[in-house]
Amino acid sequence: MKIRNLLVSGFSLCVLGAIPQPAEAQFFKKISNMLETVDKALGGDASKSNTNTEKTANDAPQTGTTVNGIHQATLYDGKTTMKCPVVTSNTKVISVDVSPSIYVNMASYSDGVAFVKVDKKCFFVDTLGNKVLDYNYGLPFMREYPRFYQGVCPAKKGMARNMSLIDKTGKVVMELPVYDCTNFVDGVAAGFISVQKGYSKVTKVVYFNTKGEPVYNNLIEEVKFGNLETPRPLCEGLAAHYSYSKQLYGFRDENGNLVIAPSYSKVQNFNDGLAAVQTASGKWGYIDKTGKMVIEAKFSSEPGPFSEGYAVVEKRDGSKCYIDKQGNIVFDGLRDASYFHNGKAFVRLNNSARYSLALIDKNFKVVSEFHTDLNNRSLDNAVSYSGDDILISNCFVTDMGDMILGAERLQSHFSDGLTYCVVLQEGGKTICGCTNRKGELVFIFKESEF
């Protein structure tokens, strides 16, 4: 290959200056033909000479090696090329008048459509990138973007007094009595309603289903102050519930019955039979589904959820450890740790090695080592799971930490088979759009030329 490059460089320098400009195209065509002849003679292939050629979407993930019986993960190891989403002949192009990497924001898919905000324009697209609805309504303050659920989405037109439910054609299917409301979660939305009380009006919180029918009448209460909170999802049969009058959290069942009275400043969702709660003292502990405190409130920092029998808690010195459901420390001395998923957990070991990131099993034995520290990003923020999918620092990985598909930015896990991403190309240019699991960009946003 060195001989080939020398032949090309020398020949080009000798003759390029003597070629008239209109003849350059013919010249380079002849050069291309010559290269094929030279490569065949040298046992090479001109089509493979560029090592930076974009990988195809069908490239399989490369698995790491094993050293001393421990897997060496390929995640950001500096040697393995990460597979990134690519444009295909089927990729749809959505033309926008702004820079997509700066001005395009997109929510996850729900009910077959996703909310898109391009500068000041808002609309919904389907899974093929086709616009299904221009969203000419107000956006909620300090909450997530609008989301469809079972065919309807809450919306408020201009200076209208109350909210409405619209369908995917934009048609109003139901006028609501509330002046503000959340997205639907498990078929229920919360809203603020203004009611007359004596000579003044007060705000109350109400709940309703996708038909606009009131539900959870026992949870209606006066709101002293505070922003509207989106209902929490049912987890293991119970959902965290915020009492606006008491300004405390408890838990309700699917019918809106309070199972655990509002008594806590903050709560996590139930997982593995327990939920972390913060008491009036500011300390955190764990309760069971009857509300009994089974692990005393002694943790100063918010602990992690229980998963597969263990939870991550932080000590005063900043180190992390795993505890069991009796509150006993079972694995100690970690710089950082994530909760267990399918029998494994990501940890940062407290050692002197250059890289401390590792994957451990339920026996707390290292089964995979990494040659990256993810810029010391907190594992709470870097690692997330959805089903069997593992997303760590903008890259989907196998259960041993080998790269599957990554990008400069991956917004979230797949929903309806797609996720929004920003792909960095050579020269610093970016491509923004939605990729499928194969790494094929189904549609992209591209700044218009004029």
pLDDT tens-digit series, residues 394-424: 999 999 999 999 999 999 999 999 999 999 9
The per-residue pLDDT for 45 is 37
To the nearest 10 degrees (0 to 180), the angle between helices 24-42 and 2-15 is 160
CB 107 within 8 A of CB 145: yes
Task: Give yes or no for residue 101 having a pLDDT over 70.
Answer: yes
Cα–Cα distance, 133 to 116 (Å, whole number): 10
- Strand order through the sheet with 329-337: 66-67, 70-72, 366-369, 357-361, 344-349, 329-337, 320-323, 311-314
The structure tokens 């090329």 sit at 81
Tokens found for residue 149: 């659920």
Q: In terms of C-beta density within 10 A (0-12 exposed, 13-18 middle, 19 or more buried), how is residue 385 classed?
A: middle
Asked if pLDDT for residue 56 goes beyond 50, the answer is no
pLDDT greater than 70 at residue 324: yes
| pLDDT(95) > 60 | yes
Mean pLDDT in residue range 89-111: 96
Specify the pairing of strand 86-96 against strand 440-447: parallel
pLDDT score recorded for residue 12:
39
What is the model's pLDDT at position 53? 32
As a whole number, mean pLDDT of residues 129-145 equals 91
Q: How far apart are CA 73 and CA 63, in angstroms?
A: 7
Please give the average per-residue pLDDT across 323-331, as a whole number.
98
Q: Do the bridges between strand 430-435 and strand 275-278 make them parallel or antiparallel, or are there none, so unpaired?
A: unpaired
Q: What percent of the chain clears pLDDT 90, i.e. is strictly above it? A: 78
What pLDDT does 59 receive? 59
Phi-psi region of 217 (alpha: psi -120 to 50; beta: other; left: phi over 0): alpha
Provide the pLDDT for residue 60.
65
| Residue 22: pLDDT over 80 | no
How much is the average pLDDT of 27-51? 38
- In this structure, of 196-200, 303-307, 311-315, the range with the lowest mean pLDDT score is 196-200
What is the pLDDT averaged over residues 303-311? 98
Contact residues for 61 (Cβ-Cβ < 8 A; gap 6+) = 74, 83, 398, 402, 403, 404, 405
pLDDT per residue as tens digits for the range 244-259: 999 999 999 999 999 9
Structure tokens, 364:
């707390």
Q: Which stretch of 34-43, 129-138, 271-280, 348-357 has the lowest confidence by average pLDDT?
A: 34-43
Q: Does residue 173 surpass a pLDDT of 60?
A: yes
> What is the average per-residue pLDDT within 49-55?
35
Q: What pLDDT sits at residue 354?
A: 76
Contact 358, 347 (CB under 8 A): yes
Q: Pick the range with the lowest mean pLDDT from 16-30, 176-190, 263-277, 326-340.
A: 16-30
**Statement: residue 156 has pLDDT above 50:** yes
In this prediction, residues 188-200 reach a mean pLDDT of 93
Please give the average per-residue pLDDT across 210-234, as a whole number. 94
The pLDDT-based confidence of 353 (bands split at 50, 70, 90) is confident
> Which pLDDT value is given to residue 40?
39
Lowest mean pLDDT among 154-158, 276-280, 307-311: 154-158
Contact in structure between 119 and 103 (CB atoms under 8 Å): yes
Residue 260 has pLDDT above 80, yes or no: yes
Q: Which residue has the higher pLDDT, 239 or 25?
A: 239
Q: What is the pLDDT of residue 235?
A: 98
**Residue 68 pLDDT level (bands cut at 50, 70, 90):** very high
Q: Compute CA distances 288 → 236, 251, 264, 305, 307, whole Å.
A: 11, 11, 14, 12, 14
Q: Which of 42-51, 75-84, 239-248 has the lowest average pLDDT?
A: 42-51
Which residues are bridge partners to 311 per DSSP? Answer: 323
Task: Give me the mean pLDDT over the 329-341 stretch.
Answer: 97
3-state secondary structure the chain: CHHHHHHHHHHHHHHHHHCCHHHHHHHHHHHHHHHHHHHHHHCCCHHHCCCCCCCCCCCCCCCCCEECCEEECCCCCCCCCCCCCEEEEEEEEEEECCCHHHHEEECCCECCEEEEEECCEEEEEECCCCEEEECCCCCCCCCCCCCCECCEEEECCCCCCCCEEECCCCCEEEECCCCEECCCECCEEEEEEEEEECCEEEEEEEEECCCCCEECHHHCEECCCCCCCCCCCCECCEEEEEECCCCEEEEECCCCCEEEEEEECEECCCECCEEEEECCCCCEEEECCCCCEEEEEEECCCCCCCECCEEEEECCCCCEEEECCCCCEEEEEEEEECCCECCEEEEEECCCCCCCEEEEECCCCEEEECCCCHHHCCHHHHEEEECCEEEECCEEECCCCCEEEECCEECCCCECCEEEEEEECHHHCEEEEEECCCCEEEEEEEECCC
- What pTM value is reported for the model? 0.84
pLDDT confidence of residue 35? 39
Contact 182, 190 (CB under 8 A): yes
What value does the mean pLDDT of the chain take?
88
Q: Which pLDDT score, from 0 to 100, does residue 414 have?
A: 98
pLDDT > 70 fraction of the chain, expressed in percent and rounded: 86
Phi and psi (nearest 5°) for 10?
A: -65, -45
User: Which residues, 6 or more positions from 221, have their beta carbon under 8 angstroms from its beta carbon?
Assistant: 204, 205, 243, 244, 245
Task: Give residue 378's Cα distance to chain centre.
Answer: 15
